[in-house]
Amino acid sequence: TGPGSGPASVLTPRQIADAVIAVRSRKLPDPAALPNAGSFFHNPVVSAAVAEGLARAFPGLPRYPQADGGVKLAAGWLIEQSGWKGRDLGRVGMYEKQALVLVNRGGACGADVVALARAVQEDVCKRFGVELAPEPILL
């Protein structure tokens, strides 16, 4: 066990920051090595009834009840189950280690990003009936 592992331990802000950086570096590509837009889609929130129906149809669907009665779904899981994890469309793709991260394979332009985002959104909507909203504002 290390620092901060016992119940009486108090983590310093530096220890927390180091832990967050370690987790992110395992899941996200280094932008210097593989340019990326980070987590590209918001986790969608649906009604409890929709989430229940989806969970029956798709066992293993991660879902997180919200205080307002809605249920947040894991966009990365929806993207992965739609066949996009590690898949490219032209010069952009969804990262092989985290389906929610959009990566530039080299020389991509804004139109490439928009085309991939739309293709992912369409496939997720067709399979699950859930619309994904991009996190970045697309101009």
The domain locations on the chain are 29-43+75-128
pTM, full prediction:
0.79
User: Residue range 115-128: average pLDDT?
Assistant: 98
Burial of residue 132, with CB atoms counted within 10 A of its CB: 0-12 exposed, 13-18 middle, 19 or more buried: buried
Amino acid at 62: P
| Better-scored residue on pLDDT, 6 or 41 | 41
Mean pLDDT for the chain overall: 88
d(CA 120, CA 84): 7
Q: How confident is the model at residue 55 (pLDDT cuts 50, 70, 90)?
A: very high
Q: How confident is the model at residue 32 (pLDDT cuts 50, 70, 90)?
A: low
Of 33-42, 78-87, 99-108, minimum mean pLDDT range: 33-42
Q: How confident is the model at residue 16 (pLDDT cuts 50, 70, 90)?
A: confident
Closest CA to 116 of 107, 125, 103, 106: 103
Tell me which fold the domain 29-43+75-128 belongs to.
3.90.78
